[in-house]
Amino acid sequence: MATTTPVVVVVTGGDRPDAALVDSLDLPVDGRVVVAADSGVAHAVALGLTVDVAVGDFDSLDLTVLEAVEAAGTRVERHPEEKDATDLELALDVALGLAPERVVVLGGHGGRLDHFLANVLVLAAPALAGVDVEALVGEAVVSVVRPGPGIRFGGRPGQLVTILPVHGPAQGVRTEGLRYPLAGEDLDVGTSRGVSNELVADRAAVSLTGGVALVVRPGPTANEDHRSGAR
């Protein structure tokens, strides 16, 4: 039987993840592997994470940081700047090679809009089917939902929850604990119907029977803006 890795933490570039928000994810230490993409190496070091694998073209990283982690035992996979994938996608490929049960991505917020959109969409790539995928992007927690039991998560009544179909329609969407329930309904790709739902309990659930969706919990600032009437 192939050996699996309980959790692979992928730290990517963009703005540095907030340490308090990372701590709130309650990531396990035992059996954890940390893969860092490009400037995510510096973010991982700042978060106190030991980088097991560094991957990318490293055009956004101080090379003294890369040299330091390599000297400390980090495996470094170098790629040319002219490549067909973002550094995050390369890091996710490394993560998949470890047969993970769960992948948690930290970072990817800020910087170029095209990179941001590509990196969010790659979280829901078919290659990651069968793996629990979650990301902390800025203040937002993004969970990928595929057909099956779905996801369950906690929070406080009034917190925002958005459901976005990607790569095609999300079919048979069911929710629990949300103000505007869905009971086996379809969400077409490109619709905004799932934007700005709200928790009405301290636990909620989202599942679907076909397709793939991103469940986004935007974070405390967005919740405050929503309560003040901002859209």
> Which CATH entry fits the domain spanning 151-227: 3.40.50.720, 3.90.209.20, 3.40.50.10240, 2.40.50.140?
3.40.50.10240
**Single-letter amino acid, residue 219:** G
Domain ranges in the chain? 5-138, 151-227
**What integer pLDDT is reported at residue 5 of this predicted model?**
86
* Domain covering 5-138 in this structure, CATH number: 3.40.50.10240
What pLDDT tens digit does each residue of the chain (231 aa) get?
A: 457 889 999 999 888 888 999 988 888 888 899 999 999 999 999 999 999 999 998 988 999 999 999 999 999 999 988 888 888 999 999 999 999 999 999 987 777 788 888 888 999 999 999 999 999 998 999 999 999 999 999 999 999 999 999 999 999 999 999 999 999 999 999 889 999 999 999 999 999 999 999 999 987 655 555 554 544
User: Same topology for domains 5-138 and 151-227, yes or no?
Assistant: yes
3 state SS for 19-81: HHHHHHCCCCCCCEEEEEECCHHHHHHHCCCCCCEEEECCCCCCHHHHHHHHHCCCEEEECCC
Q: What is the pLDDT of residue 231?
A: 46
b/e per residue 102-140 (b: at least 16 CB within 10 A): bbbbbbbbeeeeebbeebbebbbbeebeebbbbbbbbbb
